[in-house]
């Protein structure tokens, strides 16, 4: 597969009265054409900052890229000026934000907001851009698009506003679509519809997607690969099967164990990850997750772990992968969750030992 995006050792910090917050620390990943990469983690893990940095949307100051490269089809966009980025945003990279009500212009009709993108990036005239706006509203599943194109955001439901946001994001046929928690403000039924819509649109348009979320369960049927972020770093990455069925990092175990189940299972109770993320104005000396990790080794508090390769696609930043580290199995709650996921998605899974 051909690479669309290469992020290499990206570092982003924010100036505050308490010192520089190192929000993104050495993030590296690739994205291939037509692929969906999910970036997951708790609030404050750096996933949204990473996404906004890809579009150069972090406020400068206080935000600043302190190192690294963002290569879009081989071109480093970190060095691009704001004027150059204006021609890239929307046309090459588009973004769907978390809350469409605050992202859409409440004083402008939905159709006109779509038309603006078409006129700027596709050089369409007013009539042809309006016709295309109607087509896009129809494409994203909005009924009566001829009528809806002349309505304002407040006349749309939450799910329809998010569909309209997707229509705006796709208007210029971008190569990369970044979806920053696009279903968080929606109820579960509408969430499922939006996720199914994005999957369908990707198949039709062959757009690459970066999907940002705090909920591992949301990406199970959407993503091709998953990157798990913690304290500004990617601590585990792999295919969906590897992350869901063969997780190796204790933080990933915690995320899986905290996923709610739709089944009424009296044996199962949600397991919260103890403690809170570290203060990134002064990142910990060793492994950032050590203080919350019941499996932490002495070296975790002294030295940052390297990235260990489990397979060609699976990488884990944990000292537990060191050849001389004691063998630690996932807790029983995680094994039960893996079994349930296995039966849900009809994947044969082997779990050693435990219940």
Residue 277, domain CATH: 3.40.50.300
Answer yes or no: is 135 within a domain: yes
Residue 67 phi, psi dihedral angles, 5° rounding:
175, 160
Better pLDDT: 333 or 124: 124
Dist. CA 23–CA 297, nearest whole Å: 25
Q: What is the mean pLDDT of residues 195-203?
A: 87
Q: Kind and range of the H or E element at 122?
A: none
What pLDDT sits at residue 194? Answer: 85
pLDDT(149) > 80: yes
Answer yes or no: is 252 within a domain: yes
Q: What percent of the chain has pLDDT above 90?
A: 70
Report whether 231 contacts 289 (CB < 8 A).
Answer: yes
What pLDDT sits at residue 181? Answer: 87
Counted domains in the chain: 2
What pLDDT sits at residue 36? Answer: 95
DSSP one-letter string for 211-257: EEES-GGGGTTT-SEEEEEETTEEEEEEEHHHHHHS--SHHHHHHHH
The per-residue pLDDT for range 56-90, each reduced to its tens digit, is 999 888 999 999 999 999 999 999 999 999 999 98
Tell me, yes or no, whether 251 and 343 share the same domain. Answer: yes
Q: Rounded to whole angstroms, what are the CA distances from 172 to 58, 72, 121, 153, 188?
A: 22, 17, 6, 21, 29
Q: Rounded to the nearest 10 degrees, what angle do helices 158-170 and 126-139 cross at?
A: 130
Residue span of the structural domain in which 241 resides: 227-350
Out of 144, 173, 202, pick the residue that ends a domain. 173
Tell me, yes or no, whether 233 and 339 share the same domain. Answer: yes
Dist. CA 242–CA 160, nearest whole Å: 34
Answer yes or no: is 355 within a domain: no
Average model confidence (pLDDT) for the chain?
89
What pLDDT sits at residue 355? Answer: 32
Tell me, yes or no, whether 262 and 156 share the same domain. Answer: no
Answer yes or no: is 59 within a domain: no
Tell me, yes or no, whether 165 and 232 share the same domain. Answer: no
What pLDDT sits at residue 37? Answer: 96
Mapping DSSP to helix (H, G, I), strand (E, B) and coil, where does residue 108 land? coil
Tell me, yes or no, whether 242 and 341 share the same domain. Answer: yes
């Amino acid at each position: 597969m051909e690479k669309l995006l290469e992020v290499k050792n990206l570092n982003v910090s924010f100036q505050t009265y308490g010192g520089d917050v190192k929000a993104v620390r050495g993030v590296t990943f690739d994205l291939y054409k037509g692929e969906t990469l999910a970036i997951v983690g708790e609030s404050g893990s750096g996933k949204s900052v990473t996404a906004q940095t890809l579009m150069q949307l972090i406020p400068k100051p206080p935000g600043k890229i302190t190192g690294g490269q963002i290569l879009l089809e081989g071109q480093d966009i970190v060095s691009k000026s704001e004027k150059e980025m204006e021609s890239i945003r929307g046309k090459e990279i588009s973004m769907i934000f978390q809350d469409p009500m605050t992202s859409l212009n409440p004083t402008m009709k939905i159709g006109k907001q779509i038309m603006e993108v078409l006129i700027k990036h596709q050089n369409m005239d007013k009539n042809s851009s309006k016709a295309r706006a109607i087509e896009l509203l129809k494409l994203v599943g909005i009924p009566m698009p001829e009528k809806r194109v002349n309505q304002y955001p407040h006349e749309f439901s939450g799910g329809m506003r998010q569909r309209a946001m997707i229509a705006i994001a796709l208007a210029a046929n971008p190569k990369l679509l970044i979806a920053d928690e696009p279903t968080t403000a929606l109820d579960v039924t509408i969430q499922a519809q939006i996720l199914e819509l994005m999957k369908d649109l990707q198949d039709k348009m062959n757009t690459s997607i970066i999907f940002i979320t705090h909920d591992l369960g949301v990406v199970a049927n959407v993503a091709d690969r998953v990157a798990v972020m913690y304290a500004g770093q990617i601590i585990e990455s792999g295919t969906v099967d590897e992350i869901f069925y063969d997780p190796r990092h204790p933080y990933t175990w915690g995320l899986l164990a905290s996923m709610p189940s739709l089944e009424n299972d009296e044996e199962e109770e949600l397991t919260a990850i103890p403690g809170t993320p570290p203060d990134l104005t002064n990142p910990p000396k060793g492994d950032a997750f050590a203080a919350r990790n019941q499996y932490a080794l002495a070296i975790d508090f002294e030295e940052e772990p390297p990235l260990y390769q489990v397979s060609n696609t699976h990488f884990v930043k944990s000292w537990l992968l060191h050849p001389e580290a004691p063998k630690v199995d996932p807790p029983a709650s995680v094994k039960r969750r893996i079994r349930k996921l296995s039966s849900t998605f009809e994947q044969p899974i082997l779990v050693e030992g435990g219940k």
